[in-house]
Structure 1
Amino acid sequence: MVMNREDFQILYDQLTAINNDRGKMSLALSIVKNNCLTVSYVMKYALTINDEELRLDLIKASYPRLFDLNNLRMASQVFRYERTRDSFMQYIDKQYPTHGYDPLPSNQKIVGCFVKDDEFADMVTLLGKQDFNNARLSMAQQMFISGKCFTVKQILEVLRLFDTDTSKVEIAKFATDYCVERDKCYLLADCFEFESSKKDFLAFLAGK
């Protein structure tokens, strides 16, 4: 699950309380290696460190657990010097040897960002108990917001709880922002009954 704002702030305050870069780096490395983070959070952690080489090392260390890889280039803003910025961009290029700046290459495994099977099962059970479609739609959206990191398989299971293509398409579009397999989101179209629904959803993906 992606780190929430409250946990981010607690750890950020701990970092800023340390008065030397080495101490900050030690704590920051522990944070990025053990949590699923957004790029913006990593950038804020990096900016507590004055040494740009250490900033670069921190961002590199965060790569395997980043939630929004498509925003990774934004992290270049934390570097004041062209040399460090160039090193960062070269690092990014090496991470995407065949996919360009694909937000989530198919060979990229996100280690820390996922919803556990038992946790997901509880979510699905709760959704299934909702008798009214609007209530189920609202709860599904809140589920994706709170969980953040879902696989295509998990999203498909949620879609099957809805009877109409209209509801399925609405939820599928909403869920794409919380899917860790964004290069596979097109598979969600298999859940729709009508060809028009599939075309609508695939057109939506093409425009993202």
Structure 2
Amino acid sequence: MHKQVLAQNNQAISHEKHKKFIVSMKSNKNRDVRYNSAIHYFTNEWHTTFQLQDVCYYMPNDQIKYELCLAAYPKVIDKNNFFNIYDSFATFSHAIKLYHNTQAKDGSLEFENHPDRDYASIVFPNSDGYIGLTGVNCNLPMAQNDFNYFFDSLLFDSNDNQRLDFLKQQVTSHCFSTAQIMKLGLELQLEKNRLTFLKFALDKCFDIENFIESTQLISHTYYKDDLKVFIEDYLIFISPVTDHPNNNCYINDEAFLQVLISIKDQIFSDKQKEMAKKNIEKKCFSMEQLLEIVSIFKFDKDRLEIIKFLYDYAPFPDKMYVFRNKLKFLNSKQKLDKFLIDKQ
């Protein structure tokens, strides 16, 4: 009742300001930037259902529209007209889901502390007996019984952004398994916030090599790919790269510098690749030195060609995934993934 009175006492965004926002948003072709600007706009300004519906038109799919409308609902001043927003969805399920999480709860944006409906479709990895890479100062996760008590005692705020801040504080103070972090992440409704939380929590995860399973919490393709790349790059960053067992095999730093110069001195990329391949064939390089050679090339196409070529000359072919971080685009990384799988 207090919220309804508060909304009635606040004025919606003026027509002129709203029109300027629409023009500004339309001028940006990046859909993620559009979404972020819309979230910021509607969570900070009182607005009408019509104004929200106007912006929904420029959102790419129903999931994005749902997340936007859910975040915007608390500042809608004409909640009695909110039923009109359901016409913005192409699928009936998203409209029902939005109704359930807004108007079906008497206008207050509340969340269930234990969304069991999400658990059925989630596969939680088992960290028992795990001996792989671990997070920072995370040698052992919280015991499961302790976690269950900890989880049941948490008091979550109804605002999703405040929930995110609260969960980040909890992760900073404890060490969790991937499964435990996933259960905490399910307490967030907005996928953008889930993505932020999972990235933040990776450092305090015990079984980091299981963390790729956390992508199950994300359905938005862009966010899911972003999380996958973040996890893979993090694993590469913390993975130790061991030198060739025969230390007399490869060249010293001074000789290696001359090799780099000989490659860089070539004017065209084709000549650079030719020079790089000749050196790789005739000399013995460590994994670190091969990474430096790959870094000479500007474009993913050339880098991928060199990476594939040096596979047969690398001292540790099973560590070739470290070269993935040298590729800028997801498509290039996927091509390398397929190449490495075919080589096994």
TM-score normalised by length of structure 2: 0.29
Greater radius of gyration (CA):
2
Relative contact order, higher structure (CA 8 A, sep 6+): 1
TM-score normalised by length of structure 1: 0.46
